[in-house]
A and B are shown apart, each in its own frame.
Chain A
């Protein structure tokens, strides 16, 4: 019954999405009948999708093996948390989560957006309903999560053990909130193009959505990167894998949008550009969803290739993005230019930011899809890997980091450059750091050393907007900017140091032997069996020390019974100066074991930086929400 209730809720929600479309673009909207009906439809639709998702989580929690999806992806012996999170650890459930968030986003737009002019708002809700309709159709016709299995299975096949991790609980939902939250910006852009009213009121309405989605994307990507880092046991934190790129591309577009939307709010400039970016950001989300869910690009996220579903998703993508882009081509010519500004101004710096981010986006896009284009055109097979991405996107990103030092110090419209003098000390610090690394380490990449110089400069200059202000009276949004920009410096420093200074040892050792890696001495004590709820393991005991006390690490080689899979569970020792990362490999016949040890100085800064960037966004969002609430109270 639970599954049928969920399915019925989905059908009902789909019908409401259709109604939403008619209310927004039909004759009633032309007469201008107010926004109340379309608002309530969007809210009910959101509630229904949320209900359907809850029903799916319920059948997973109960391991109802008469539901096909549960039988194929769950198991009665699985820990409780992973049963529930397993609801989205598969194709159908994951798409339902996607659609649920789309529904929630539409409902939230209907509830919270009160400032926008009625016709633009109605058209935006109509666009949101249209998006939802297509994805409901996808779920109902090509990817039903509630399909029954008759007779029921005796036992489920189990969840891929790599997914049995707290990462599964957080990573997909945060990433999806980011991906799909951008749909609101897309819908608002479409609505504004329909009515031709692209102005600072639109930007004000759009900003919190972009900011919220961007925070979630930042968290999702950061968490995903750390998950891959410790779970896959390769010691790397970013692989330029197509699926990773699929999440990076919307983030880059959203970051650009976040900055251009501020220009539109403050100065009413960059109208057409901002609208375009809002469309591109969500389009990139859909491209990402397509790439992941169709499985057409080879990736560590090895999802099954399913041409039928792929075709359906591609058709949705082509229709939605195509319609939006055509609307843009037809209508954007009518948008008036905003007020003028000079080259030395905050606007110009933000345009620089947008251009550089767009170029990086282009670099990632081309690198990800180049093998596909080449194979389609010539039949030749090739792959594009880290050397391309790092050496092309890296320098551009560093250029952008330099621009972040300058931009926040400039005034809107025109600037006399007075505040730029404050950059002297950070610049000096940056050059000093660069010089030290150039002399102290003769080998090692130039890019990393330059990156460390720029990171030092940025870490100091990020704080400059606070200089001369009363800190307690500084708006939270300014604090947010400072924290986020500081986070960029921290992340860059982490990437560069871990790349320059990581030491790696791959060795076959017998219990009792000692291995040196970086400043650490690791004693290989023993290998013993260990047992978990649905796995058995061989567990090594390693005693690591560098002078002072001894820390024990227990990397495992795990065997899951259902489905039968071997995984490596790395053991990581985190200290303030970095991480010692250990992996237990196979045994040789002569009693030796493969051990893989890394010492990664300051690697944690990468994720700390990511978290700071997201925190900065949260401060800005919180500050704006607080101010809006206070204004509403006063009024």
Chain B
């Protein structure tokens, strides 16, 4: 039992530096979700139901633009595709835990929880209590995300409505995308997607966004394959 507890707290501790970055991100989401016209309850519920940062930002924006629900759901699916990779990467380390644990850990599987868990498993291997490590990291992130969303919602209700708060969305995405531009295929993926998004801006239901993303992903993958 106590080994489980040690593993749990080690996961929480490893997650801590990431929480400092996630906290303002959650607050900005809360502010933007209200700004986009979501009710406080819906804004908070999305942090529990979807529980995936960038896709929540995008959903708030698309809801604001009155895009049909099916297109929004499709966009969420594309943006969150990477979780399948995390799932595949962690699967061999979670082979021996019960189905109940798998169901719980899958819910808590985010970029940030994955990052610290895979680092731990690669370094120290798998022990009978190592799923508690992922549980600790995931739960720490989950709690932080819920609380920071709530603070953002409370804050958002008090900010003057003439501030250009919606501009925080492209700014946040710029901050996320720049570090990802590590090589030519990544730059090509980004630029082609951006240009297609402009060219296809007039398409109905914001389908230009999905089209642009698909072209960018395809071009990046093609260029990477040729190397």
**A interacts with B:** no
